[in-house]
Structure 1
């Protein structure tokens, strides 16, 4: 006979599952659009203007403003009263911006097109960290570890399927139509936000002040778990950002052209596998910061094995194994941000953290580009060393960790 507690648990499981499914529909649609747009923009620029340089400028216009706008976007999201309207409007605006770029490239002046792309790019933080920060308002605390793991899966799926979808659409129809479809997908995801049970905030908060933004940023330096998660993941991205350059050198070393994209695909598939495994059985969720540290060490060890092999298949295995470690790492990172961020600054912590990671990744790509003469083996060891250094830094930054850090978010955040 079922107990009253088990019946109550089962009755709650259904609605929770439905909410998570609706959330994942939103996340997949907008993140597919974001990842696919990077390919569609370049193909569109070449098709309309015969300039790959303009394609690169369009990508930069879409991505760079997201780094600058992340603190403000997160701060506004933490204070706006009608959250569904705000998030839905931003996602629809992003999708509409992609559609506008598809119509304008090659037909109006380049500065106008770049301005449109840059304006749409200001909404990018709400496609990533901004959306993820909503999970703690949509689901109970006990369901969050699995939810963050599935959210990490949405990032992985978008990273794999987005560029493939954009390429397929551009080839079968046209680059402009491909970008229009991606924009329509993002706008549809924005409209689906209205199906999420996000109630308006009960009380109107004070107007956004510069001090609020400084206080949220200070958490990433002052709070031991948050600073460990933030800066360890940032240093790790310094290496991960260099991997596309590394893959080019490895493809030349093995004389295997497909390895340029194949090695990154192997890592992405490994990350997807790791995320799914972690979603099935989350572990280390009580102290996600230590899970991140452990997975950084494991990622470094897997990548360090690549220079020791003499064929591309074994190298792909090393990349896939590294990806299997980054899946749980990312899920634990999201769990930790949610757990240790105060409610009043949760979205800002997510968007700032994502911005810092993007900045480090860009720096890593730039450094690798200038260090190509060192050779593929040296670069791979450098990337692996970044993961180990990030793990050590993360452990050192945990010094002074609060005694109440293992409490549920509702209790932990009372101290801020």
Structure 2
């Protein structure tokens, strides 16, 4: 984007929002159906028409600032991209490529075929690179959950979250690659569990639970038979349900017998499992999941790893849906390292919970709402409870666009 001396701003048509004033189309592909050269965008249909006409337009920034009510609810001082927007699509492509690979690997294991260890290592290496380059976007992508693809998506999320925690712990690049491999492959043994037990919608009976718990043994065997697999992944697959106090399964091992990677993966595995919808239960909110981890410190989970995990993802991680004190609803898109209770939020619902023109709200900068009341996060909410599909936001390119900033 670049500014012109006359107050025009060149933007991509996918950055257009209701209330903007378009004063020029760049290289339109056909004649414009609009009657006037200056177009005040009134609805999403206007935006769609402009997107069909051209790739770039010029908007009148001075008009937008001066025009009362041009963007509903409050004024805006600027139009900005999210912090991770510039490389979000590349990051998402890596995330989905690795996610699709683990689906293939799991299918191979279920049908007794050999899987490509080298392909898995390459995918993990690319994932590590993207976590290091764009950790905020990677964290957001782990929140786009799909109940129908639970095992594959859970494996991918544990991979990413393990790398994020390892990064927080300042592990070397080689260690992060090994850790990512462990996280991605930790649940492969579930592919040897009968589907009627793995996908049972109700509570498992004792004999069924015994069969389910054998996935740790199956995972050990699968990885031991895989040529050139990282040996540490065998330990993680076999022991990630063990507890520090020796109360886990399958062997009742204590802390001294558990590898560093096993203890680390156990924390993020529990977190992602708790916050995910599964066939037999709804996922719990983020803060409730953290509470469970904190309660289990020293008995179930390594206390330092739990603490560092909370430091890593924050109280309101990217991708979490929150309801504000004003009643507005938004997606957390950026952390505020100086004050973790005041993140940046992409507003998507107004105070009546109705769709609105998206805008960025920085709680560290904007202290009061339109009624002069102090802004704050009321609660973390489940997207399903508000009929919001975060995956659709990703598919629609919402996280790579620029938005007006609430002043």
TM over 0.5: no
Indicate the structure with greater strand content. 2
Whichever of the two has the greater Rg, that structure is 2
Indicate the structure with greater helix content. 1
TM-score, scaled to structure 2: 0.27
